[in-house]
Amino acid sequence: MKILVANLGSTSFKYRLFDMETEQQLARGGIDRIGEDAESNCVVEIGSHAAKETKHIPDHAAAVQMCLDQLMHSDTGCLNSVDEVAAIGFKAVFAGKLSGIKIVNEELLQAMENLADVAPAHNPPYVRAMRQLQASFPKIPLVAALETAFHETIPEKYRTYSVPYQWTQQYEVLRWGFHGASHRFIGTRMAELLGKEDAKVISCHLGGSSSICAMLGGLSQSTSMGMTPQSGLPQNNRVGDFDPFALRLVKRLSGKDYDELLDELSTQGGLLGLSGVSNDCRDIEIAAANGNEQAQLAVDVYAADIKKYIGQYLAVLNGADALVFTGGIGENSDTIRSKVCEDMTFAGIELDSDKNSSTREEGKISADNSKLQIWIVPTNEELVVARQTAKLVQN
């Protein structure tokens, strides 16, 4: 069985193709600038073969068709026919109570549309692309692996806001949590690395979008993102945790309406807003190293917020066996890892500075006397989605 896993942006399409009998990745690729006036870069890697093509791509259906054409190329392709693709799996974000692993149908699409206010950067492009693909590839099942599904095991006391209870019942106002595929992969992989099925793991998925998750035996117990992906840690350009009553003051002083202010918080906040430099942590760290005080503040706030959540989750789990860093920042920024782990010896967290600065692939970076193991583990969200998609299609 071959599964195509799609990762969608409003103007981008990235994919991986898996043979699920061996879980081998057969190909990967991506297309940018979809629907724009400029020509798109269409990149594909099949084994050791890599190719790049440039042409105008009007929509996501055309992007998928082009990728399939590349995968069926007579000389370098890994597919003989489109019929070999058993399903297309999506790392979808939010559909409220329609969580879990779902065949994409009208009910699901309407739920995602109705909750676009919650995930404005994610739901609209997914719904639009899914509708296009339904029309263009009616014989290929589309499967949505909702990111919230992994967090359904969180105890009610850690999921419920102290809002009027009817909000929870009528409007689905809960701490839903996101990055489920990434945290699920980390939970499974750490059970293997630790040789312990009931391991207590704190997973730090740090990237353009970041969240922390406390896991027991591979099951989510608490997570930093709440009702929306705008919450929790500072994101690349989204605010993270914030007192909503501050909006009333800023509205009065700025003369802007609530929608304007919310747009600013979701597009000009986070690391971008703090640093005034960039929404990319690499650029911010360089600016901080060159003496930019505002950039240094962004680095310090980001690391401090991560540390605060780790402290919470040590309490939730009654200790931990491992602390894991994953995602683009988690895997590559020794600066952030160092700042997060400093002055944490009271909790048995001690980093080996040499391992921290030299390790880029999967590896343990804790000091020999650290009570908690500290790991870098590259995540594989696409493989998790492929597994979930294959299971649903088989059933």
Radius of gyration of the chain (CA): 21
> 192: pLDDT confidence band, cut at 50, 70 and 90?
very high
Name the more confident of 241 and 66. Answer: 241
Residue 192 marked as a ligand binder: no
Task: Indicate whether 316 pLDDT > 80.
Answer: yes
Would you say 282 is a known binding-site residue?
A: yes
Q: Any known ligand binding at 286?
A: no
**Domains of the chain, first to last:** 2-145 (3.30.420.40), 180-376 (3.30.420.40)
Confirm or deny that 187 is annotated as ligand binding: no
> What percentage of the chain exceeds 70 in pLDDT?
99
By the 8 A CB rule, do 179 and 147 touch? yes
pLDDT digits (tens, 9 = 90+) for 96-139: 999 999 999 999 999 999 999 888 878 988 898 899 889 989 99
16 is in an annotated binding site: no
Tell me the angle at which helices 258-267 and 246-254 cross, rounded to the nearest 10 degrees.
110
Instruction: In whole angstroms, give the CA distance from residue 18 to residue 228.
Output: 30
Question: With 70 as the cut, is the pLDDT of residue 301 above it?
Answer: yes
Q: Average of pLDDT values for 230-244? A: 95
The mean pLDDT of 320-333, rounded to a whole number, is 97
Q: Which of 25-34, 70-79, 315-324 has the lowest mean pLDDT?
A: 70-79
pLDDT at residue number 59? 86
Count of residues making up the chain? 395
Distances (CA, A) of 80 to 61, 70, 171, 324, 332: 20, 11, 47, 40, 38
14 is in an annotated binding site: yes
- pLDDT for 10: 65
To the question of whether residue 329 is assigned a binding role by annotation, the answer is yes
1, pLDDT greater than 90:
yes
- The mean-pLDDT minimum among 50-54, 149-153, 241-245, 327-331 falls in 50-54
Asked if 146 and 101 touch (Cβ cutoff 8 Å), the reply is: yes
The verdict on whether residue 3 carries a ligand-binding annotation is no
Q: Average of pLDDT values for 375-392?
A: 96
For the chain, the average pLDDT equals 94
Residue 66 has what pLDDT? 87
The average pLDDT across 311-316 equals 98
Taking a C-beta distance cutoff of 8 angstroms, is the pair 233, 305 a contact? yes
| Integer Cα distance of 199 and 209 in angstroms | 25
Could you tell me the pLDDT band of residue 221, with boundaries at 50, 70 and 90?
very high
> What is the model's pLDDT at position 371?
97
**Ligand-binding site membership of 248 (annotated):** no
